[in-house]
Amino acid sequence: MTGRREAAGGDAVTGDWTPLPEPLLWMTLHGDQDVFVLRQRGREVAAAVGMEHQDQVRVATALSEIGRHAIGATVTFTAEVSARPRLVIVVEADGIGISPPEGTAAAGRLMDEVHVERDRISLTRRLPAQVGPERLAEARRTLAQSLPTTALDELSVQNRQLVTALEEVQAHRDELLTLNAELEETNRGVMALYTQLSEELEQTNQGVVALYAELDERSAQLREANEAKSRFLANVSHELRAPVTAIIGLTRLLLDARSEPLTPDQTHQLGLVQDSAADLLARVNDLLDLAKAESNRIEADWAPVDLAAVFGQLRGTLRPLARPGVQLEIAEPDPVDLVTDELLLTQILRNLLTNALKFTDAGTVGMGALVLDGRLHIAVADTGIGIPFAEQRRVFEEFHQVRGAHQAGGTGLGLPYARRLATLLGGGLSMVSEPGEGSTFTLDLPLRPSAPDTDLPHVPAVLVVDDEAAARQVLREHLAGIAEHVHEAADARSALAIATRERPSVIFLDLRMPGGDGAELIAAMAGVPELARIPVVVVTGADAGHVPGAAAVLAKSVLTRRAVADVVALVTG
Ligand code: ADP
CA 395 to ligand 1 centroid distance, Å:
7
Helical (H) or strand (E) element with 506: strand 506-510
DSSP summary character for residue 31: S
- Output the pLDDT for position 151: 65
CA dihedral 408, 409, 413, 415 (to 10 degrees): -30
Q: How far apart are CA 165 and CA 62, in angstroms?
A: 15
DSSP summary character for residue 23: P
Q: How far apart are CA 408 and CA 414, in angstroms?
A: 13
Residue nearest to ligand 1 atom 23, measured at CA: 356
Residue nearest to ligand 1 atom 13, measured at CA: 401
CA 245 to ligand 1 centroid distance, Å:
26
Query: How many C-beta atoms lie closer than 10 Å to residue 154's C-beta?
Result: 22
Mutate to test the pocket of ligand 1, among 290, 350, 364, 406 (most ligand atoms within 8 A of CB): 406
CA 412 to ligand 1 centroid distance, Å:
7
Considering the entire predicted model, what is its pTM? 0.45
Contact call for residues 46 and 63 (beta carbons, < 8 A) = no
DSSP summary character for residue 25: E
Mutate to test the pocket of ligand 1, among 279, 355, 432 (most ligand atoms within 8 A of CB): 355
Block means of pLDDT (10 residues each) for the chain, 573 residues, are: 38 45 86 87 92 89 89 92 88 87 86 92 91 87 76 71 83 90 88 86 81 80 78 74 84 85 89 87 79 72 91 91 92 92 92 93 95 93 92 78 64 83 90 93 90 77 89 85 89 88 92 74 86 90 72 81 87 85
Q: How far apart are CA 190 and CA 196, in angstroms?
A: 10
| Residues lining ligand 1, Cβ inside 6 A | 355-356, 359, 382, 384-387, 395, 401-402, 406, 410-415, 439
CA 406 to ligand 1 centroid distance, Å:
7
| Angle between the N-to-C axes of helices 414-424 and 342-358, in degrees from 0 to 180, rounded to the nearest 10 | 150
- Output the pLDDT for position 290: 74
Handedness of CA 270, 272, 275, 277 (dihedral sign): negative
CA 415 to ligand 1 centroid distance, Å:
7
Mutate to test the pocket of ligand 1, among 380, 401, 417 (most ligand atoms within 8 A of CB): 401
Amino acid identity of residue 56, one-letter, is Q
CA 278 to ligand 1 centroid distance, Å:
20
Contact call for residues 463 and 510 (beta carbons, < 8 A) = no
- Output the pLDDT for position 15: 41
CA 414 to ligand 1 centroid distance, Å:
8
348-386 burial code (b ≥16 CB/10 A, e <16): bbbbbbbbbbbbbeeebbbbbbeeeeebbbbbbbbbbbb
Q: How far apart are CA 125 and CA 251, in angstroms?
A: 121
Count Cβ atoms within 10 A of the Cβ of residue 55 and give its class: 0-12 exposed, 13-18 middle, 19 or more buried.
Answer: buried
Contact call for residues 21 and 15 (beta carbons, < 8 A) = no
- Output the pLDDT for position 11: 37
Q: Helix (H, G, I), strand (E, B), or coil: what is residue 154?
A: helix
Residue nearest to ligand 1 atom 11, measured at CA: 401
Q: How far apart are CA 573 and CA 458, in angstroms?
A: 10
